[in-house]
């Protein structure tokens, strides 16, 4: 095998070209794009309101009038799945954005600054990491009460220790790199090092971890709603739909199959998309050997 450094430049490929070679990641990304577009167009694609009840049509099977059937209150499951996906995606993305922003701020401050602040913050992070995320979220939800804002805040707070630990570790590794030492030797200030070198090199790590984490956040959100501690009925949300479907799984399995399938497929899609992004952004994958 030849030395990777000796590979001709013509074999070097861009990030998109490396990502495009991963067909599973492409399929996951395409599925998420289609789902996001369908959820955004829910007012056009769903003919009925997700909360409109028709007590004369409980547990209607899938048919032309109701593609996914109806639930116990005669609500259209297709409409609720679309609107539920819209709500789940918005809340999950918001929670990941808040968690990643907080993790970058705290992780950079502790990893690059070090000292007593680093010790105190990391010990607090260790304490929170020792608590199961679901248990922590339940405790916080019992304290603040369920609402959309509190769901986003609690999901973000429960993921914050992981982001902080990950960002801090990346900053510690970057701080020891030769180009950082060279820039500092040339007189670059700490602020310039952060702006020009540290923060830009965190982008790939944050993008990959956030993509992978979105699947987990959607699962956590559905889990909280399923046990009544997240989004509250009658809001169309996948976890709420699964909780409602428990009553008659044998009589009307479609009320659980479609929201459960949506949760499963979205989590898988985010995982394979994150894996593909990780491989595409990995510096060791930037060169492909000839042949």
Q: What are the pLDDT digits (tens) for 86-122? A: 999 999 999 999 999 999 999 988 888 778 888 999 9
Domain edges within the chain: 14-39+75-285
| pLDDT of 136 over the 60 cut | yes
What is the arithmetic mean of pLDDT over 202-206? 86
| pLDDT of 66 over the 60 cut | yes
pLDDT at 120: 92
What is the arithmetic mean of pLDDT over 202-219? 90
pLDDT at 205: 87
Beta bridge partners of 76: 70
Mean pLDDT score of the chain, rounded to an integer?
85
| pLDDT of 1 over the 50 cut | no
Task: Please tell me which residue, 143 or 287, carries the higher pLDDT value.
Answer: 143
What is the arithmetic mean of pLDDT over 153-174? 91
pLDDT band at 283 (very low <50, low <70, confident <90, very high): low
Give the largest Cα separation in the chain, rounded. 78
pLDDT at 13: 54
Q: Residue 138 and residue 275: Cα distance in Å, rounded?
A: 30
> Lowest mean pLDDT: which of 70-79, 215-224, 274-283?
274-283
Convert the pLDDT of each residue in 6-49 to its tens digit. 333 433 457 777 777 888 999 999 999 999 999 999 999 988 88
What is the arithmetic mean of pLDDT over 148-165? 93
| pLDDT of 68 over the 50 cut | yes
Q: What is the pTM assigned to this prediction?
A: 0.86
What percentage of the chain exceeds 90 in pLDDT? 46
| pLDDT of 3 over the 90 cut | no
What percentage of the chain exceeds 70 in pLDDT? 92
Q: Which CATH number fits domain 14-39+75-285: 1.20.120.350, 1.10.3720.10, 3.30.160.20, 3.30.1330.60?
A: 1.10.3720.10
pLDDT at 177: 78
pLDDT band at 287 (very low <50, low <70, confident <90, very high): very low
pLDDT band at 199 (very low <50, low <70, confident <90, very high): confident
| pLDDT of 197 over the 90 cut | no
């Amino acid at each position: 095998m030849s030395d990777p450094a000796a590979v001709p430049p013509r074999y070097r490929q861009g990030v998109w070209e490396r990502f495009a070679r991963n067909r599973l990641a492409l399929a996951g990304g395409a599925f998420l794009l289609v789902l996001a577009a369908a959820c955004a167009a829910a007012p056009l694609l769903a003919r009925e309101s997700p909360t409109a009840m028709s007590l004369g049509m409980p547990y209607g099977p899938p048919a032309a009038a109701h593609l996914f059937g109806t639930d116990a209150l005669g609500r259209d499951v297709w409409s609720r799945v679309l609107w539920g996906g819209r709500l789940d995606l918005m809340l999950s993305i918001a929670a990941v954005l808040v968690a990643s922003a907080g993790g970058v701020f705290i992780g950079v401050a502790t990893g690059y600054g070090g000292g007593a602040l680093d010790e105190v913050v990391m010990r607090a992070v260790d304490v929170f990491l020792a608590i199961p995320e679901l248990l922590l979220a339940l405790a916080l939800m019992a304290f603040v009460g369920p609402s959309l804002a509190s769901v986003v805040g609690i999901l973000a707070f429960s993921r914050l220790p992981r982001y902080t630990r990950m960002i801090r570790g990346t900053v510690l590794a970057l701080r020891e790199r030769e180009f950082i030492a060279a820039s500092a030797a040339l007189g670059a200030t700490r602020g310039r090092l952060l702006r020009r070198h540290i923060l830009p090199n965190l982008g790939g790590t944050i993008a990959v971890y956030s993509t992978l984490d979105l699947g987990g956040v959607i699962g956590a959100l559905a889990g909280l709603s399923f046990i009544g501690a997240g989004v509250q009925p009658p809001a169309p949300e996948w976890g709420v739909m699964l909780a409602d479907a428990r009553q008659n799984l044998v009589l009307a399995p479609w009320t659980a199959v479609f929201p459960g399938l949506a949760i499963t497929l979205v989590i898988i899609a985010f995982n394979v998309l994150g894996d593909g992004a990780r491989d595409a952004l990995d510096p060791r994958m930037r060169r492909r050997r000839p042949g």
